[in-house]
Amino acid sequence: MSNIISYDERIKNFDWSISEKELDYQPGNVINIGWYCSDRICKLGKADKMALIWEGSQGQEKRYTYNELRLTSNGVGHFLRGLGIQPEDRVCLFMDKIPELYIGFLGVLKIGAIVQPLFSAFGDESLIVRLENAQTTAVITQRKHAPKLRKILDKMPYIKHIIIVDADPAKPLGDREVAFDMDHAFKPEDFEIHPTKAESPSVLHYTSGTTGQPKGVKHVHYSLISQYLTSKWVLDLLDTDIYWCTADPGWVTGTSYGIIGAFSNGVTQCVLDAGFSADNWYRFIEKHKITMWYSAPTAIRSLMKAGDEVIKKYDLSSLRHLASVGEPLNSEAVIWSEKVYGKAFLDTYWQTETGSIMITNFPGMKIKPGSMGKPFPGITATVIDADTFEPFDGPGKIGLIAIKPGWPSMMRTYWRNEETYNKKFKNGWYLPGDRSSIDNEGYFWFVGRDDDVINTGGHLVSPFEVESALLEHPAVAESAVVAKPDFVNMEVVKAFVTLKPGFVGSKDLDLEIMNFVRKKLSPLAMPQEIEFIDNLPKTRSGKIMRRILHAKEWGEEIGDTSTLEND
**Which parts of this chain interact with ligand PRX (CB under 6 A)?**
207, 251-253, 325-329, 347-352, 372, 432-434, 446, 449, 455, 460
93 φ, ψ (degrees, to nearest 5)? -105, 115
> Which residues are within 8 A (CB) of 17 and not within 5 positions of it... i.e. 6 or more apart?
none
**Complex with ligand PRX: residue 195 or 212, whichever CB lies closer:** 212
CA dihedral sign of residues 199, 201, 205, 210: positive
HEC per residue, 301-352: HHHHHHCCCHHHHCCCCCCCEEEEECCCCCHHHHHHHHHHHCCCEEEEECCC
**Complex with ligand PRX: residue 285 or 461, whichever CB lies closer:** 461
Q: How many Cα atoms occupy the beta-carbon half-sphere of 432 within 13 Å?
A: 26
**Complex with ligand PRX: residue 230 or 352, whichever CB lies closer:** 352
The single-letter DSSP state of residue 43 is I
Least CB distance from residue 350 to ligand PRX, whole Å?
A: 5
Q: How far is CA 145 from the centre of its chain?
A: 20
Least CB distance from residue 357 to ligand PRX, whole Å?
A: 8
Least CB distance from residue 196 to ligand PRX, whole Å?
A: 24
Question: Which amino acid belongs to residue 132?
Answer: E
Least CB distance from residue 85 to ligand PRX, whole Å?
A: 27
**Complex with ligand PRX: residue 142 or 420, whichever CB lies closer:** 420
Least CB distance from residue 467 to ligand PRX, whole Å?
A: 20
> Which residues are within 8 A (CB) of 99 and not within 5 positions of it... i.e. 6 or more apart?
52, 54, 62, 64, 182, 271
Least CB distance from residue 246 to ligand PRX, whole Å?
A: 12
CB 528 within 8 A of CB 461: no
Q: How many CB atoms lie within 10 A of CB 108?
A: 29
**Complex with ligand PRX: residue 193 or 461, whichever CB lies closer:** 461
d(C-alpha 41, C-alpha 52), whole Å: 13
**Complex with ligand PRX: residue 359 or 536, whichever CB lies closer:** 359
**Complex with ligand PRX: residue 256 or 291, whichever CB lies closer:** 256
Maximum pairwise Cα distance, the chain: 73
Least CB distance from residue 253 to ligand PRX, whole Å?
A: 5
